[in-house]
């Protein structure tokens, strides 16, 4: 706040003093002095606005770092595009009972989304499964500790891309 008060002193104080004294010293240059004072005043206002803009931008950056997802208690775990030429799995997530996963998957063709606790190169074990769709958003609650994957399985034979977003709401601390 002190910086803003100092800038206001510069914006209001200096032009007022100069405007009052210089025409007394140099009466023939009064129009030029008034023009210079207007330029000084305008540049002081611009400097104050730029300083205020920088302050507001730093506040916005601070809020964005906290993240809108964390305000609701959700933490982004993964956001990825998968090419489905057969089923594909996300990275492994270590979860505990009480955790809630929020999953969103969208693509141009039909697929199913599965929560799996076992993934190998040739197969995966389904814990929970979504209906067949082109766009699915849902939540799954974790009841047993362990490693989990989100598996997206295409319904047809032709390959396509899907976008996957996985978020976690950790178990509430008691």
115-150 tens-digit pLDDT: 999 898 889 999 999 999 999 999 999 999 999 999
Tens of pLDDT, residue by residue over 96-115, are 998 999 999 999 999 999 99
> How many Cα atoms are found within 13 Å in the side-chain-facing hemisphere of 162?
33
What is the number of structural domains in the chain? 2
Does residue 96 sit in the same domain as residue 148? yes
Q: Residue 162 sits in which domain range?
A: 71-169
Is 18 a member of any domain? yes
Most confident range, picked from 11-20, 46-55, 60-69, 71-80? 46-55
Does residue 55 sit in the same domain as residue 82? no
Q: Of 19 and 32, which is predicted with more confidence?
A: 32
Is 26 a member of any domain? yes
Does residue 97 sit in the same domain as residue 155? yes
Cα distances (Å, whole numbers) of residue 109 to 98, 126, 158: 33, 21, 9
């Amino acid at each position: 706040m002190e910086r803003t008060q100092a800038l206001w002193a510069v914006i209001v104080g200096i032009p007022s003093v100069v405007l009052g004294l210089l025409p007394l010293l140099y009466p023939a240059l009064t129009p030029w002095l008034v023009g210079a004072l207007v330029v000084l005043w305008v540049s002081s206002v611009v400097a104050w606005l730029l300083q205020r803009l920088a302050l507001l931008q730093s506040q916005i950056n601070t809020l964005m770092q906290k993240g809108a997802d964390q305000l609701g208690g959700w933490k982004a775990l993964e956001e990825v595009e998968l090419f489905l030429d057969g089923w594909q799995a996300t990275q492994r997530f270590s979860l505990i009972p009480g955790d809630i996963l929020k999953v969103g998957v969208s693509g141009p063709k039909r697929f199913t989304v599965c929560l799996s606790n076992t993934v190998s190169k040739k197969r995966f074990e389904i814990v929970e499964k979504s209906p067949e769709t082109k766009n699915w958003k849902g939540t799954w609650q974790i009841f047993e500790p362990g490693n989990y994957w989100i598996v997206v399985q295409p319904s047809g034979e032709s390959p396509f891309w899907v976008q996957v977003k996985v978020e976690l709401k950790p178990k509430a601390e008691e």
